[in-house]
């Protein structure tokens, strides 16, 4: 602003620098720790300048936690969840905004209310569903009598089963439904001028053609924003992966492995805790989301705040 406040300006910079310290110091300490030898790290006071062992520690962490396959798993799952959320949210919003089937607002509210049902509060029964994702369908069929009919007609008892434990489907599918994404797309579609829709229809565009040639190109920014947020969200998942994957060698994700890198008296056999390796692993695991944020900075903030401003 248009005033001279030299003292306050210095104070402002001082406060912001403290803010930068809060944001960066912990991760700087992690980085420094990842460059030290096991003797250096267990010899307080801790050094604030990096040592020379970064590559050795990174390699040790990479091998110990088998991060190669874990990082690939994480990448695969995060990409699937993010693109799944975008696909499903844009389709649902498209149907709700551009069609007039009965019950569409009920569907919208049903999806919206899931905001109030985070995974953590329904964790045990959701796990039970993951053990057989068709159990709800089976129960419904039994109640309406189709299961009974099936048994009478074919003589075989109807037993639907689809186990999601230890599978990519199990890691991805329960995370794909998205209230916020659907809401974001709905808000955006509602700003599309009626003239565009009319024009498209007059030119003979069918619904899916309109979606492909008009809506999707128009919502690229929204998709990028949602993708950034959802990729980070999916990569950083912890509770759900540790529940659905007991077969860690094949389906473990990188974030799950973090805990195993922490030196405890059990893992070191009473020896010196090798925090240097744990911190190197921590660096590797948190890198991909940071790369995404660095590349998509603009969309990241936009996606967080929401596009309705």
Partner 1 sequence: MENRPHFKTLWLGVLLVLPQLLLVLTFFYWPTGAALFWAFTLEQPWGGGSQFVGLDNFSNIFTDRFYWESVLRSLVFGVGASALAMGIALVLALFCDRQLRGYAYYRTALVWPFAVAAPAAAVAFRYIFAPEAGVFAALNQLYPNLWNPATNGDHAMIMIIIAYSWKYVAYNFIFFLAGLQAIPRSLVEAGAMDGAGVLRRMRDIQLPLLTPTFFFLLVINLTDSFVDSFGIVDITTEGGPSKATTLMVYKIYFDGFKGLDYSGAAAQSIVLMVLVMTLTVVQFRYIERRIHYK
Binding residues among 143-172 for partner 1 as defined by CB under 8 A: none
d(CA 87, CA 304): 19
Two structure tokens written together for 159: 């037993």
d(CA 218, CA 54): 45
| 185 forms part of the interface with partner 1 (CB under 8 A) | no
Among 61, 77, 82, 97, binds partner 1 (CB under 8 A): 97
Binding residues among 248-277 for partner 1 as defined by CB under 8 A = 255, 258-259, 261-262, 273, 275
**Residue 172 contacts residue 81 (beta carbons within 8 Å):** yes
Kindly compute the dihedral angle of the four CA atoms of residues 19, 20, 26, 27, in this order, to the nearest 10 degrees.
Answer: 150
**Residue 224 contacts residue 90 (beta carbons within 8 Å):** no
| 295 forms part of the interface with partner 1 (CB under 8 A) | no
Q: How many residues can be counted in the chain?
A: 309
Among 55, 63, 72, 115, binds partner 1 (CB under 8 A): 115
Least Cβ distance, residue 219 to partner 1 (angstroms): 15
Residue with Cβ nearer partner 1 (148 or 238): 238
Binding residues among 191-210 for partner 1 as defined by CB under 8 A = 194, 197-198, 201, 206-208, 210
Going by C-beta distance under 8 Å and a sequence separation of 6 or more, which residues neighbour residue 216? 90, 223
Q: What are phi and psi of 247, to 5 degrees?
A: -90, 80
Least Cβ distance, residue 179 to partner 1 (angstroms): 8
Residue with Cβ nearer partner 1 (197 or 218): 197
Binding residues among 12-71 for partner 1 as defined by CB under 8 A = 12-13, 15-16, 19-20, 22-24, 26-27, 29-30, 33, 41-42, 44-46
Residue with Cβ nearer partner 1 (174 or 252): 174
**Residue 181 contacts residue 226 (beta carbons within 8 Å):** yes
């Amino acid at each position: 602003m248009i005033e001279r406040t030299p003292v306050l300006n210095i104070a402002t910079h001082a406060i912001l620098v403290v803010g930068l310290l809060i944001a960066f110091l912990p991760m700087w300490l992690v980085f420094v720790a990842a460059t030290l030898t096991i003797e250096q790290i267990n010899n307080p006071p801790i050094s604030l300048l990096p040592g020379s062992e970064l590559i050795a520690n990174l390699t040790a962490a990479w091998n110990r936690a088998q991060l190669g396959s874990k990082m690939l798993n994480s990448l695969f799952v995060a990409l699937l969840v993010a693109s799944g959320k975008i696909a499903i949210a844009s389709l649902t919003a498209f149907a709700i905004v551009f069609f007039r089937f009965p019950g569409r607002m009920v569907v919208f509210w049903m999806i919206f209310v899931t905001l109030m049902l985070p995974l953590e509060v329904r964790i045990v029964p959701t796990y039970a569903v993951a053990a057989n994702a068709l159990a709800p369908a089976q129960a419904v069929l039994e109640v309406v009598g189709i299961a009974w009919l099936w048994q009478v007609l074919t003589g075989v008892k109807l037993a639907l089963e689809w186990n999601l434990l230890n599978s990519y489907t199990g890691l991805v599918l329960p995370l794909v439904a998205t209230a916020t994404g659907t809401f974001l797309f709905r808000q955006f579609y509602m700003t599309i001028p009626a003239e565009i829709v009319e024009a498209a229809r007059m030119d003979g565009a069918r619904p899916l053609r309109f979606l492909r040639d008009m809506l999707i190109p128009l919502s690229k920014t929204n998709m990028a924003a949602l993708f950034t947020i959802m990729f980070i969200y999916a990569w950083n998942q912890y509770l759900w992966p540790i529940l659905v994957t007991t077969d860690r060698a094949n389906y473990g994700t990188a974030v799950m492995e973090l805990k195993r890198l922490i030196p405890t008296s059990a893992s070191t056999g009473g020896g010196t805790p090798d925090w240097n390796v744990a911190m190197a692993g921590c660096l590797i695991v948190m890198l991909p989301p940071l790369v995404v944020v660095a590349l998509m900075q603009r969309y990241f903030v936009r996606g967080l705040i929401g596009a309705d401003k």
